[in-house]
Amino acid sequence: MSTMTELSGGPALPQERRIVTAIPGPKSQELMARKEAAVASGVGTVMPVFARRAGGGVLEDVDGNSFIDFGSGIAVTSVGNSAEAVVRRATAQLEAFTHSCVMVTPYEPYVEVCEQLAGLTPGDHAKKSALFNSGAEAVENAVKIARVYTKRQAVVVFDHGYHGRTNLTMALTSKSMPYKHGFGPFAPEVYRVPVAYPYRWLTGPENCAEEAADQAIDQISKQVGAGNVAAIVIEPLLGEGGFIEPAKGFLPRIAEFAKTHGIVFVADEIQSGFCRTGQWFACEDEGIVPDLITTAKGIAGGLPLAAVTGRAEIMDAAHSGGLGGTYGGNPVACAAALGSIETMRELDLPARAKRIEEIMKPRLQKMAEQHGVIGEVRGRGAMLAIELVKPGTKEPNPEATAALAKACHQEGLLVLTTGTYGNVMRFLPPLVIGEDLLNEGVDIVEAALSRL
């Protein structure tokens, strides 16, 4: 076993794949029947097994099956589940007090998380933060802050973008099914423009960045009016849209346009942030310094916490009492975040993410050469994906994607799909996963692909 697992500091959970029942096993089936009776049908499930324990690179179910984890609870447990520093700090906080509400009596961990965010996020300007419970709530608040600062209303988002499931963030999210269908009407003053998606750009990838930026800027200028735009919100590496890396040069053009017109440029790094792509934040790869950055997921090792961080003068534009919520920046979640950040620094998790790319990407690329069903391999760090197509075409192949995911699940690999067309298999292992497990997971994908 590689040192990666030893360094994870996780619980004494065997770092192995182990399938001892049919998937799902009898206990999971029993619980699933109870779920179906008691839990609203709208709350879906990717894998029909119930979790019992998780840590390092594995998740164990109630029947004793142990899965290699390539999902991290959707890019959340980057430091591993129940990471030592997260448990230690959160436990101490649980014993001290669980809640006071920062709007009633503040507490140090909240301030310390904001201090950490100021230091870690791109740019050396004065920064401030506000903390919330979920990614969607952070995005909503970024928009509120940008509107009050600019005294403008319009918000620009992109094709294939995902920003959440609340009313405003549904409006910002691109994909109808399952996120928006039947749930309207949606919030007004939201405008969607093209993103530089090289693989699917009509004229090919070569001029994609320039052409997409031209189109986006032209649409904003002509259809909205740059002077009406409060914020441009974009994921530097689009997650739910299909792990799309905007063609190099696109993001800088959009950021420059925002700057020229006094528009607040918001990087939504809820999925791509906190070491996931091999940097602390994905926008660093193109030297982008966003005015505001939204974070969640990886920030707190599994506890619900989210943040908006940005230029002090923008963050301070909201009147006192204008931002908040009962639970935002809960002390236990803040303590967990400090444990998570401590782990990321100590284990140099950006480097781990790069190492994961180094191991996985060439193997995925080799598979793509052998299997026409893989249209493209993409992503950075431990945010990697394969886009599946009908061989010989670029036609999306969601059926093959679903079949591949199911085959992997049966073999003991927890893996997720994504994408506007449901045809992208994404790989989001915990950054502390052992190299043996990582390779074993890729072996499973490879074998399942050959059987497809």
User: Is residue 78 near ligand PLZ by the rule CB under 6 A?
Assistant: no
State the pairing for strand pair 306-311/127-132. antiparallel
Question: Token pair 């598979």 is at which residue?
Answer: 367
314 CB-near residues (< 8 Å, 6+ apart) = 145, 146, 149, 264, 291, 292
Could you tell me the maximum CA-CA distance found in the chain, to the nearest angstrom?
A: 62
The correct pick among 31, 51, 74, 111 for binding ligand PLZ (CB under 6 A) is: 74
- DSSP 8-state code for residue 371: -
Q: Judged by CB under 6 A, does residue 135 bind ligand PLZ?
A: yes
Question: Which positions from 302 through 341 interact with ligand PLZ, judged by CB under 6 A?
Answer: none
Q: Which stretch binds ligand PLZ (CB under 6 A): 234-242, 277-285, 346-354, 396-404?
A: 234-242
Q: Which CB, 306 or 433, lies closer to ligand PLZ?
A: 306
The site for ligand PLZ, by CB under 6 A, has a size of 16
Of 268 and 342, which CB lies nearer to ligand PLZ in the complex structure? Answer: 268
Which residue in 93, 174, 271, 420 binds ligand PLZ (CB under 6 A)? Answer: 271
Binding mask 346-385 for ligand PLZ (x = CB under 6 A): ----------------------------------------
Residue 350: how many other CB atoms lie within 10 Å:
21
Q: Which of the residues 249 through 268 are near ligand PLZ (CB under 6 A)?
A: 268
77 touching ligand PLZ, by CB under 6 A: no
Residue 361 CB-density burial (10 A; 0-12 exposed, 13-18 middle, 19+ buried): middle
In terms of Cα–Cα distance, which of 198, 191, 114, 108 is closest to 157? Answer: 191
Residue 402, both tokens: 């679903």
User: Any contact of residue 67 with ligand PLZ (CB under 6 A)?
Assistant: no
If one asks whether residue 175 binds ligand PLZ (CB under 6 A), the answer comes out as no
- CB under 6 A: which stretch of 19-27, 133-141, 356-364, 381-389 binds ligand PLZ? 133-141
Give the nearer residue to ligand PLZ in terms of CB position, either 86 or 267: 267
Nearer to ligand PLZ, 240 or 285 (CB): 240
Residue 172: C-alpha distances to residues 60, 113, 122, 161, 163 (Å)? 36, 27, 24, 7, 6
Q: What is the 3-state secondary structure (H, E, C) of 146-192?
A: HHHHHCCCEEEEECCCCCCCCHHHHHHCCCCCCCCCCCCCCCCCEEE
Q: Out of 139, 217, 263, 353, name the contact with ligand PLZ by CB under 6 A.
A: 139
Contact segment (CB under 6 A) with ligand PLZ among 135-143, 189-197, 243-251, 409-417 equals: 135-143
Binding of residue 419 to ligand PLZ (CB under 6 A): no
> How many angstroms separate the Cα of 109 from the Cα of each of 79, 92, 105, 134?
19, 12, 12, 18
Closest approach of ligand PLZ to the CB of residue 417, in Å:
11
Q: Nearest CA to 53 among 18, 23, 85?
A: 18
Q: Which of residues 4-43 bind ligand PLZ (CB under 6 A)?
A: none
134 binds ligand PLZ (CB under 6 A): yes
How far from each other are the two terminal CA atoms of the chain, in whole angstroms? Answer: 30
Segment 277 to 306, residues that bind ligand PLZ, using CB under 6 A: 296
Q: How far apart are CA 394 and CA 383, in angstroms?
A: 22
239 scored as a contact of ligand PLZ (CB under 6 A): yes
Residues that bind ligand PLZ (CB under 6 A): 74, 134-136, 139, 162-165, 235, 239-240, 268, 270-271, 296
